[in-house]
């Protein structure tokens, strides 16, 4: 995803967050098209490219996903957040994704599992689990 697209989505996302969820759908569609293009661009690179980054507002929540480094690489090499709070993601052996919020149900992409977490949260805030 180019920085221009990212900036545009962030700016639009800010407006959407103020205006409410009704405007979220077009933003989400734009992000999906961007993600599809990114996947296609890297299809000849032997699979190291991984899923596309995203940055959008879904149901009034800012969701961001991007390739990860360090310890997160073991969990599929991708991190996601909802309103700036980390959503723990994990990739399954078949390429599908789960999160700590939807742990027993698989989703095709990090974007899909992050949106599913927003649906389940019903406006609640993610918190780090006390250990």
Partner 1 sequence: MAVRKNQATLSATEKRNFVNALLELKRTGVYDGFVRTHNEFIMSDTDNGERVGHRSPSFLPWHRRFLIQFEQELQKIDASVTLPYWDWTVDRSTTSSIWGADFLGGNGRSRDSQVTTGPFAYSTGKWNINVSVDNRPFLQRELGAGAQLPTRAQVDAVLAMTTYDMAPWNSASEGFRNNLEGWRGQGRIHNSVHVWIGGQMATGVSPNDPAFWLHHCFIDKLWADWQRMHPTSPYLPAAGTANVVDLNDTMRPWNNVTPADMLDHTKFYTYDR
Query: Shortest distance, CB of residue 13 to partner 1, whole angstroms?
Result: 21
Compute the distance between CA of residue 60 and CA of residue 14 in angstroms, rounded to an integer: 9
Q: Tell me the closest approach of the beta carbon of residue 32 to partner 1, in angstroms.
A: 23
For the residues of 73-95, what is the DSSP string, one character each? GGGTSEEEEETTEEE-EEE-TTS
3-state DSSP call for residue 130? coil
| Residues of this chain that bind partner 1 (CB under 8 A) | 74-75, 88, 90-94, 100-106, 120-122, 124-127, 129-131
Under 8 Å between Cβ of 109 and 99: no
Q: Which is nearer to partner 1, 27 or 91 (CB)?
A: 91
Nearer to partner 1, 42 or 75 (CB): 75
Residue with tokens 């095709």: 108
Nearer of residues 38 and 98 to partner 1, judged by Cβ: 98
Distance of closest approach, residue 98 Cβ to partner 1, in angstroms: 9
Pairwise CA distance, residues 65 & 81, whole Å: 6
CB nearer partner 1, residue 14 or residue 125: 125
């Amino acid at each position: 995803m180019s920085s221009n697209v990212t900036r545009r989505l962030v700016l639009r996302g800010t407006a959407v967050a103020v205006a409410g969820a009704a405007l979220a759908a077009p933003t989400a569609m734009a992000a999906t098209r961007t993600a599809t293009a990114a996947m296609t661009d890297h299809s000849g690179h032997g699979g190291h490219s991984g899923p596309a980054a995203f940055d959008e507002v879904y149901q009034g929540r800012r969701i961001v996903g991007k390739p990860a480094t360090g310890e997160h690489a073991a969990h599929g090499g991708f991190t996601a957040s909802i309103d700036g709070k980390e959503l723990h993601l994990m990739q399954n052996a078949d390429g599908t994704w789960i999160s700590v919020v939807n742990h027993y149900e698989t989703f095709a992409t990090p974007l899909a599992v992050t949106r599913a977490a927003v649906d389940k949260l019903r406006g609640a805030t993610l918190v780090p689990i006390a250990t």
